[in-house]
Amino acid sequence: MTDFDDRAFRNAMGNFCTGVVIAAGSVDGQPAGFAAQSFVSLSLDPPLVALCPAKSSTSWPKLRESGAFCINILAADQKTVCDAMAQSGGDKFAQFGWHSGESGSPILDGVLAYIDCHIETEYDAGDHIIAVGRVCDFKVLDSHGASPLLFYRGSYGEFAANA
């Protein structure tokens, strides 16, 4: 392709609905994190996940330095958490309850589940990084079937099961 249209590509990719997660870590006791959509389960044996932060992220270097990250799977009613974590700078965790997981990374209150990981390796991927995490702990926190926060065609929403 000689003339690649970035906007058209983003629009095409927007047709793939994704969940919204918060990747969080802690350096010297100070929490850091960011909102992400590029997250996937990678392997069961060993248990691995992949996260794809942008190279321009100011939070990813802090998580890398900590050697760990925790994926917090947001519930549909946590869009304010997503909005706060999508901002650059400031204390993103000041307005939300959280506690440290096994790796020392933050687990946010009210999430559907978390996956706590130690960073296994990283790969260069254009304007992003593919970070592979080895799962050290995980837990489903909402067993009542709350909906996840989803992102589709540039908007947030939630899952509605067919009756």
Chain segment 59-83, per-residue pLDDT in tens: 999 999 999 999 999 999 999 999 9
8 Å CB contact between 132 and 42: yes
Q: What range does the domain containing 66 cover?
A: 20-72+113-144
Separation CA 22–CA 63 (nearest Å): 12
Do the domain assignments include residue 56?
Answer: yes
**pLDDT digits 0-9 by tens, 110-143:** 999 999 999 999 999 999 999 999 999 999 997 6
> Residue 77 phi/psi, 5° resolution?
-85, 10
Whether residue 7 is contained in a domain is answered as no
pLDDT (average), residues 147-162: 85
Of the candidates 79, 30, 89, the residue with the CA atom closest to the CA atom of residue 59: 89
CATH number, domain of 128, equals 2.30.110.10
pTM over 0.85: yes
pLDDT tens by residue, 134-146: 999 999 997 677 8
Q: Which residue has the tokens 């790796």?
A: 103
| Calpha distance 91→102 (Å, rounded) | 22
Residue 52 lies in a domain: yes
